[in-house]
Each structure stands twice: as structure tokens, then as C-alpha cells.
Amino acid sequence: MKLHSMFGASYWKGRKVLITGATGFLGRHLVEMAAETGAIVITTSRSEATTGSAGHVAMDLCDRAGVLAMLREVAPSGILHTAVAGASEEVGFAQLMRTNLVGTENLLAAALALPQPPTVVLAGTGYEYAPQSRDLTEGDPVCPTTPYGISKAAAAFCAGIYATQMPITLLRIFNVYGPGEREPRLLPYIAACAKAGRVVELSDCEQVRDFVFVKDVAALFWRALECSPRDRRLRILNVCSGSPVPLKQFVTVVLEALRERGLSPQAKFGVRPYRAGEPMYYAGDTGRLQETLGMLPSTNLQTGVRQTLDAML
């Protein structure tokens, strides 16, 4: 997805945008897309320098004093906050709360303390909602059933307080995939098994999921940063494709694309059990996203999977 700016590249030219979690799966794509905006990008993560930015700060967002000093020095016009724990890897509950809640609160407190508070876009998750057997809407109850969802919902409630004093958008992302993702995520797991000649061991894959391409997600983050909310409350938008599919269909698309690339993947369904507490239906409604930002994810599943495998292989 190309970023179609309502202001044009000149709007961001010379303006500073801070991207947290810049070395992560989504963060890398946000940095790459920055070239289309003309922004001066400053990145931060717990690891050392990333590429494609004007400057990088290696730091822990749980260092409150350090975060405040960093924001005072950078003085960004916008913040894209994607630093997260537990999105794919197993992390203890205490670490989830420390990174996802405390780190977010430190960042928002430091942003609000600036003479001109920036516009902020936060990465949330559809797992903040109570499970439903239909497409989730932004008005649905927030009642997470996983430690990760709890930590992200807590951060969202925290952001709601700060949103009364500065413009904040929360993008609740569903099943994002694309170039740069790593095991144990599903697509890279299947690809790794195919390359190594191992059988892909799966559940029955009867779950329904909404897969959204990471480059589309990155474009929507930049769009949300431009289209700042005007009222003093947290703006929440679902980020998903709007076209949920059975998980077995997603796996089939991946297997077919691997065969097109000369590999011979073998998959066994029903070998693994479903994860405890895993919802059988997990997808979001995109009506508010379309109405608010005027754009939706545009990469279809077959195209996105092929691009992802080309990058991996």
C-alpha cells in the first residue's frame, strides 16, 4: 500500500517523528515508509541503531527519567509507538505489564510534559476485546482473556486518560503478517519447516482469523498520525483486512506459494491441540477505520503471502 497523504509529503518535511520499537517487525516497516512522508525520523528501541532514520536512541522505555530526557531533546511533532512485549514470544505477566503498560505511560507522560505535546499513535491489539463469534467493533466490551491482552488493555485505559490533554489514536491490530516476521509465528514456521524438509505440524486449523499485511498496517499508522483526532478522547480504530478466512485456508495459500518456489512442504493437521483460551473466531469490523482515515488495507492474501515468502527465501 502506498501512503496517500492528505497534506502531501511537504506536510512532514522537516518535522520530527519518533518511532519506538523501530527494530521490531512493524517498526522496521514504519521506518522504511518514512521516506514517502518527508519526515525526520528518530528511532528508539532496546537494541542498537537501526537503518533509515536520522538518529537512533537505544533505551528502555521503563526508564522514566531517560524517556523524559530523550523526548525533551528530540521534541517530536509525532510519535508512532510500536514497542511491545509478548506479541509473538512467550513473556511473563510481570514483564508484559512493565513493558506494555509502564513503558507506554512513561512515554505519554514525557510527551505531555513537552511545551507542544505531539500527536501520538499507539499499537494496540484485537485481543483487548472480549471474545465474540462475529466481527469485533470498537464499541465492543474490553475484557481480555490472555495476559498479553490484559497488558495492552491496561495501556489503552492509561492512554484514555492522556487523550483528554493530547491527540492519541489507538490502532487495535489483528493478525498482522509480512516480510520480517520470525518464528514462532505461523508463516515463518511453515516456511522454515519446508526449507528443512520437516513436516508442518498444525492443529485442525478451524479457527477463523483476519490477516492483514504489515505494509498496509504501516501505511495506516502514518495516515492516523496525519489525521489527528479533534476531540479530547482516545480514538480507537480496528486495523484488519475485513476479510476473515479459516486458518486452514491461510495455511493452504502459504503451502501453494512455497510449491511455486520449488519447495515440497508437507502439512499434518490435527497433530497439535488448540491453545488454551484461544478464540475460534477472531476478526474485526473495518467500518470506523474507513470512515475515519478514508483508506483500508489493500493487499490481498495471495499477494501478501508471496511477497513475504520472497523476502524470507
Express each pLDDT in 38-90 by its tens digit: 899 999 988 765 555 668 888 899 999 999 999 999 999 999 999 999 887 78
β-strand partners of 237: 171
Distance (Å, whole) CA 246 – CA 59: 40
Contact present, 130 and 143 (Cβ < 8 Å): yes
- The cell for 154 is 491496561
Total count of residues recorded for the chain: 313
User: pTM (2 decimals)?
Assistant: 0.94
pLDDT of residue 3: 45
Say if residue 62 is exposed, middle or buried (CB neighbours under 10 Å; 0-12, 13-18, 19+): middle
Report the chain's terminal Cα–Cα distance, integer Å.
22
DSSP string, 37-58: TT-EEEEEESSS--SSSSEEEE
Mean pLDDT of 84-109: 92
Contact present, 73 and 63 (Cβ < 8 Å): no
Q: Among 79-93, 148-162, 185-199, 276-290, whose mean pLDDT is lowest?
A: 79-93
Mean pLDDT of 286-293: 97
pLDDT in tens, 121-177: 999 999 999 999 999 999 999 999 999 999 999 999 999 999 999 999 999 999 999
Contact present, 246 and 206 (Cβ < 8 Å): yes
> What mean pLDDT is reported for the chain?
93
| Beta strand spans in 89-247 (E) | 119-125, 168-173, 175-177, 199-201, 208-209, 211-213, 235-239, 245-246
Contact present, 223 and 295 (Cβ < 8 Å): yes
Distance (Å, whole) CA 175 – CA 185: 10
Q: What is the CATH number that goes with domain 9-179+213-241+283-298?
A: 3.40.50.720
Enter the DSSP assignment of 102. I
Distance (Å, whole) CA 115 – CA 113: 7
Edge-first strand order for the sheet with 55-58 is: 55-58, 40-45, 16-20, 78-81, 119-125, 168-173, 235-239
- How confident is residue 281, by pLDDT bands cut at 50, 70 and 90? very high
264 three-state secondary structure: coil
Distance (Å, whole) CA 310 – CA 255: 13
Q: Where are the domains of the chain?
A: 9-179+213-241+283-298
pLDDT of residue 7: 41
Q: What is the CA radius of gyration of the chain?
A: 19
- Identity of the residue numbered 263: L
Residue showing cell 484461544? 278
